Structures are given as C-alpha cells and as structure tokens.
Amino acid sequence: MVLSRLGIMTMGLSDAIVVGRYSATQLGYHAMGWALTSVVVTMSIGLLTGVQVMTARAAGEGRRHETGAVLRRGLAYSLWIGAAAVAVLVAGGPLFLHGIGLERDLADGASRVLLVFAFSLPGYALSVSASFWLEGLSRPGPGAWAMWIANAVNLGLDLLLVPGTFGLPALGAMGGAWATTGARTFLAVAMLGYIATMPEARALGVFDRLVRDRAAEADQRRIGYGAGVSNFFEVASFSSMNIIAGWIGGLAVAAWAVILNVASIVFMAPLGVSTGAAVRVGRAYGARDPAGITRAGLVAFSVISVFGMLISLAVWPNAGLIASAYTSNPATLAMAIPALAVSALMYLPDSLQVVTAQALRARGDVWVPSYTHLASYIVVMMPLAWWLAIPLGMGVMGLSVAIVIASVVSAGLLLIRFWVLARRD
C-alpha cells in the first residue's frame, strides 16, 4: 500500500523535475495548476475511502460475496466525482487563478495547465475505487504494480512532451500535464481490466445484478464524506500556500513547489500505512474486537513514528542536494533550501495525524478527524502562514514554519481522541 501511494505523487515528482529542469518559470505554472487539482485528487481519495472500509468490514464479518456491491457503488461514485471535478475546474479554475492577485503571466500559464490536468480526474477516480476494493480484500499488490507501470508511462511521456523530443514541439508544463492525463487513463483501464479477469470475480459478486441496499449505500457515503472533508481541509490549506507564495513572486512559487512536492511524496508513505491501519482496524471493528482495534492502531502509530523520524533525519542535512534536483536557478534555490530543511520537522507529526485519522474513521468515528483538520489547518495554519510569510517578511520560510506548527496541533488532537475511545472501550 505504501508503494502504491508513493506512486501517486511520483507522477507529480517526475513532472516537477522534468519541467523544472526545462524552466523555473514553467515549474511555477505547473505548481499552480497542480495545486488546484491536487485538492480534488486527495479529496477523491477521501470520498472513496468507504470502498476500502466497507470491503474490509464485509470480509471481517465473513460476507465476501457482498464486496462486489461495494465495488459497483464505488465505481458509480467515481464517475460522478470525476465528472463534477472536470465541470468545476474547467468552469471556475481559470477565473479563480486570475482573481487571487497573481501576476498575469503566472495566472495565464497555470490556467492552461489546470485545464489539461482536469481531464485526468475521471480516470483517476475510477482507479482509486478499484485499488481500494482490492486493498480492502488484503490484495494491494496489483494496484501497486499498475501504479508503477503508469509511472513509467508518465515519465516516458514527460521526456517526450516537456522538452520536445524527436521533433515534437516543446510543451513545457503543458507537456507534464498531458503526460499525467495519459498515465492516469492507462491506470484506470489496467485496474478495471485486472478485476474483470480475476478468477474469483464472480464469487466476490463483481458481476451480480445490482440490488439496492440504501443502508449500506448511506454508510459507504458517510465514511467517504468524513474522509473527503478532512482531506479537503488539509490539502486545500496546503495548496493555499501556493497562493501566498504567488503573492511573494513567481520564483517563490517555484521554491514552494519544491517543498510541497517533497512533502507530498513523503506523505504517501503514511497514507499507505493509514490504509493498512484502516483495513486492520476495520476488520477488528467488523469482528467486534475492541482489543484488536487498539492493537492495530498502536502498531500503525509506532511504525509511522519511526518512519517520520528517519525521513526527517534524511531530508534535513540533504536539503540542498534535494532542491538542486528540481532546479538550478540560484534565486529559487536560495529560498527553497532553508525552507525545505525546516519543513523536515513536519514529517513525524504529519505522518502520525494521517494514520490516526484513518484509524478513527475505520472504527466508526467519522467526523471528529474532520473537525480537528478544520481547526489545525484552516483556523491555525492558513492565517499563521500569511502572517509569517508577508507581514513578518519570512517568505517561503514562514510557510514551512506554519505547516510544522499545524501538523503538531493536528497529531496531538487526534491521538488524544484515539486514547479517549480506547479507554472507553
């Protein structure tokens, strides 16, 4: 599951490195276009979390045949989510980018990239439902393999389209967006094809005739709404940092893109562990095993704490080397390197908060994680980031400090909630 989640953001990493080596200005366009679509991407993961949790619960209760209905509902939701995302981003994305005070050239370039990214979202949502269903059945391997093959497709298209290879026109950031769209479409086709050809597909109810179960539908949506709202608060607030960076200047957006891209890649590991925690906690919840719920949560918290400490110790002394992989522009590096070193303090608390939130949802505590994310990232982080970056003049460094503080607040609130519920059980 960790490998699969890492693959999600490795597409963004490939785009950012290839585009950034081509042009720091084009990297700014890519970062702003990616920022808006990343909100939808992560929100889609949250909205479809019900596929994973309901599948794990049904398996834990010995009702594997009913998991096919969970998948079919998830695919239907995916189509609605993807279509709505395209409509909203195409209609409102360019207007938003031009209305938030960015430089005209930055807003124009980011708008063109955003429109291409938008059309990658329906395929991406379908692939999320398919992989979540397999993970709920404790079969994460096919999703991970398909994701990394899709990454190879993405990188090949990046190298062709961004600099213009074999006589093709150089598309810059637009080329990176088209590469991601092609790779996500490939991923959806590969995942659905795999499920359709599984020997046990019929035994799992994949091809059964649809019978409405309104209670199960409502429960699946409810889990998704809670996770989707949480993810929206967190990712929207992180993406708003791009807007604050845009108020500083175009190169500040490119510098912040480095910090955010590294954080996004690191975040995929705890997101994968959180999926494992949700499956284990969900099965224990379905089996009515309170001790198993607590044990699964504590194991996940311990594993991700070790990961967070190790990755912080790896990034902090190597911030210069990592930032240099994205761009060679001296002004961009001067902002990115110290801010990236400070952001390393975020990885432990940020990892803990995402795993704890998912463990809480899997045990039926859907809305408290949403409230804590609202408090931590919207109420605390966004105004603090603006105040540190602009009135205090800390620039990109101020954005990193604000994210560290908000992550500590979020992790602390969620761990207290898990402890309170475990004591009550």
User: Tens of pLDDT along 156-210?
Assistant: 999 998 888 887 888 888 888 999 999 999 999 999 999 999 988 888 878 877 7
Question: Encoding tokens for residue 56?
Answer: 């794990």
* Angstrom distance (rounded) from CA 297 to CA 300: 5
pLDDT of residue 411: 93
- 120-147: burial string, b at 16+ Cβ within 10 Å, e else: bbbbbbbbbbbbbbbbbbeebebbbebb
- Nearest by Cα to 31 from 399, 378, 285, 352: 399
How high is the pLDDT of residue 312? 93
Q: In Å, how far are 90, 158, 323 from 315, measured between CA atoms?
A: 37, 26, 10
157 in Cβ contact with 179 (< 8 Å): yes
Which residues span the domain enclosing 406?
A: 2-424
Whether 417 contacts 372, CB under 8 Å: yes
Residue ranges of the chain whose pLDDT lies below 70: none
Give residue 305's pLDDT: 93
pLDDT of residue 103: 79
Which pLDDT belongs to residue 298? 92
Q: What is the domain count for the chain?
A: 1
Give the model's pLDDT for residue 147: 92
Contact 67, 239 (CB under 8 A): no
Q: What is the pLDDT at residue 169?
A: 82
Please report the pLDDT score of residue 401 as a whole number: 93
pLDDT of residue 290: 86
What is the per-residue pLDDT for 153?
Answer: 94
The answer to whether the predicted template modeling score (pTM) of the entire model surpasses 0.85 is no
